[in-house]
Amino acid sequence: MERLLIQHWGVDHCAYLRGRSLHNVRIERLWRDVRKDSLESYRQIFTYLGNTGLLDMENEIHRSCLFLVFQPRIQASLDRTRDAWNHHKVRTARNKTPIAMFELSRETAIRRGYWTGDMGDDLNTAADPLYGYDGEAPLPPITEQHGEPEIVSQEPVGIDAEREAGICVNDDDELREVQELMPDFDFGRNDENWGIDVYCEAVLLLKSRM
């Protein structure tokens, strides 16, 4: 996003603000909580699997089983963190929760007549990499457009390009093939070991069926 803004508006226009801000305190606190409460335990699990030789991200079987076993678990953890965040009290907002702040602002908007009922764009729209970018928007004054940096390289696009760049990702067809080979396997089973046992069982079973 920073590259797109600078490419379109120029450096001097200051369309992108980098660094910490007093206005970002809440979102920075949110990211800290997400990492601590939702992601850190899985980072440690994946590190353990890698250090013990149970996980090789260049191995298609390992990579596919890792995704199918842990993606739902990570999502469930993120959902719990989201719910906890939405219901926690914010001291600087007189101990109101984020949900309460939203509802109060919505009621105010309805009462004053400017509530449209539009909750914003759907996830599919907002997930577009160019979401919010208007290529036909007017450019800033010419005096603010000089000094634009040249884009030296682009981020890899596509599965093959990402893998060539050392980014290990799962292809949808690969995941679909694994699920077809293991239709009766319960990837979401609670093994009382953070999913590690389920992952190891999935790897062994998939190897025997490929």
Environment class of 65 (CB within 10 Å of its CB; exposed 0-12, middle 13-18, buried 19+): buried
The whole model's pTM is what? 0.67
Q: What single-letter DSSP state applies at residue 137?
A: S
**Residue 13 pLDDT class (50, 70, 90 cuts):** low
Question: Token pair of 106, please?
Answer: 């919505």
Dump pLDDT digits (tens) for 47-68: 999 999 999 998 999 999 999 9
Per-residue pLDDT band at 181 (split at 50, 70, 90): very high
Number of H helices, E strands in the chain: 9, 0
CB-based contact 87:78 (threshold 8 Å): no
* Tokens of residue 35, six digits: 């990492």
Q: What angle do CA 26, 28, 32 make, to 5 degrees?
A: 115
The structure tokens 């079987």 sit at 61
| Segment 8-15 mean pLDDT | 65
* The one-letter amino acid at 58: E
Is the torsion defined by CA of 43, 49, 52, 58 positive or negative? negative
pLDDT (mean) for 23-27:
63
Nearest to 60 by CA among 158, 203, 179: 203
Q: Which of 60, 9, 43, 58 is nearest to 175 (CA)?
A: 60
CA distances from 46 to 37, 63, 77, 185, 194 (A): 16, 11, 16, 21, 11
Distance CA 59, CA 146 (A): 47
CA–CA gap between residue 168 and residue 173 (Å, rounded): 15
pLDDT one-digit tens code per residue, 116-169: 777 777 778 877 877 777 777 776 666 555 554 444 455 555 656 666 666 777
In this structure, the chain runs to a length of 210
